[in-house]
Chain A
Amino acid sequence: MGRTKKRALVIGAGGLGCAVLPLLARQGVEAVVLDDDTVSLSNLQRQLLFGTADLGRPKAEVAAERVRALVPGASIDARMERLTPERALELLAGVDVVVDGSDNFPTRFLVNDACVISGTPLVHGAILRFTGQVMAISPRETACYRCLFEAPPPAGVVPSCAEAGVLGALCGIVGAWMVWSALALLSGTETQDGLIVHDALAGSTRLVGLRRDPACAVCGDAPSIRTLTPERYVEAEACVA
């Protein structure tokens, strides 16, 4: 291909995206950041690329601006859009790693399935209250998100951080682990095979070892999920902000 720089697709310019983007930029990784939302006041408690003057502006755009100011010469492209089943595989073309900091289950499953189908390495991250989790996924080699969580939970069962709250500094902790994992996937070094779980109250980080599930619907030996059918990723009613 002739391209020496690695390229990451970062899903979401929220708490995790904001922590991940400057770290990737400082490592010389090109980034495309996807987010269709605008900056709101309750974001500022943890989304470190945004200040009071940015309220109302598109998050992806502000994030890219801020990263370029922090790291001159950073290659970062902002897309003010949401990842959809129709566009996912197109957006993944030419991407070396996907870093998923999205905040809802349908998107997490869409990202996972798109990465497995296209064979793109993926780092999943999530935060809630005082805990965070990170998973490095090499499609069809390690466990994928669906190996662990077969399907999105029914709406209202698992609170989002909009409902349950989250410790802001946790974004930096989880973001750092996500970048660590992304760089390992990019360089082909061994990643931790499983789910990294951090508990900020206990101050501990542990690894829940996982293996690929041969019966997994998307990365198993006889996968039933081979295309990104939109009905499978219907957005549960999301809380605003």
Chain B
Amino acid sequence: MRGVTEPVRVVDIRAFVCPMTWVRVKLGLEAIREGEILEVWMRGEEPLRNVPRSAKGEGHVVLLCEPAGEDHRLLIRKGS
């Protein structure tokens, strides 16, 4: 059984451009339950700027946003 900090789903948006970046993350969040965690792999400045902000705007919690090589890894806990 996964712990409360383990993501239950991963979305890789490194190949996408705005607005498909947030669209894919949003659909990933729809597929998990409230309280569960989504892991997102991002590349470039635009998603780094927009995805955490959009996630917070829709009531989710950004637990982590850290560089991972040329990319960024994000953990989002689904809100209500």
Q: B44-62, CB under 8 A of A: which get 1 and which 0? A: 0010011001100000000
**Chain B residue with the shortest CB-CB distance to A240:** B17
Q: A162-B18, A163-B19, A163-B22 are in contact. Are A239 and B46 (CB under 8 A)?
A: yes
Contacts of A240 in B (CB 8 A): 17-18
Contacts of A239 in B (CB 8 A): 17-19, 46
Q: Do residues B54 and A163 form an inter-chain contact, with CB atoms below 8 A?
A: yes
Report which of B19, B49, B53 forms a contact with A162, defined as CB distance below 8 A. B19
Q: A22-52, CB under 8 A of B: which get 1 and which 0? A: 0000000000000000000010000000000
Closest 6 CB pairs of A and B: A239-B18, A162-B19, A240-B17, A163-B19, A239-B19, A240-B18
Known: A42-B19, A42-B20, A156-B53. 11 other contacts (CB 8 A): A156-B49, A162-B19, A163-B18, A163-B22, A163-B50, A163-B54, A240-B17, A240-B18, A241-B17, A241-B18, A241-B19
Q: A145-187, CB under 8 A of B: which get 1 and which 0? A: 0000000000010000011000000000000000000000000
Q: A217-241, CB under 8 A of B: which get 1 and which 0? A: 0000000000000000000000111
Query: In the bound complex, what is the Cα–Cα distance between A239 and B53 (angstroms)?
Result: 15
On chain B, the number of residues with a Cβ less than 8 Å from chain A's Cβ atoms is: 10
**Chain B residues within 8 Å of A, Cβ to Cβ:** 17-20, 22, 46, 49-50, 53-54
Contacts of B17 in A (CB 8 A): 239-241
Query: In the bound complex, what is the Cα–Cα distance between A163 and B18 (angstroms)?
Result: 8
CB distance from B19 to the nearest CB of A (A): 5
Sample of 9 A–B contacts (CB below 8 Å): A42-B19, A162-B19, A163-B19, A163-B22, A163-B50, A239-B17, A239-B18, A239-B19, A241-B18
Contacts of B19 in A (CB 8 A): 42, 162-163, 239, 241
Query: In the bound complex, what is the Cα–Cα distance between A183 and B53 (angstroms)?
Result: 41
Query: In the bound complex, what is the Cα–Cα distance between A162 and B54 (angstroms)?
Result: 12
CB distance from B74 to the nearest CB of A (A): 17
Contacts of A42 in B (CB 8 A): 19-20
Query: In the bound complex, what is the Cα–Cα distance between A162 and B49 (angstroms)?
Result: 15
Q: Which residues of A (100-152) have their CB < 8 Å from a CB of B?
A: none
Give the one of B17, B18, B46, B54 with max A CB within 10 A. Answer: B18
CB distance from B32 to the nearest CB of A (A): 21
Contacts of A163 in B (CB 8 A): 18-19, 22, 50, 54
Give the one of A42, A162, A239, A241 with max B CB within 10 A. Answer: A239
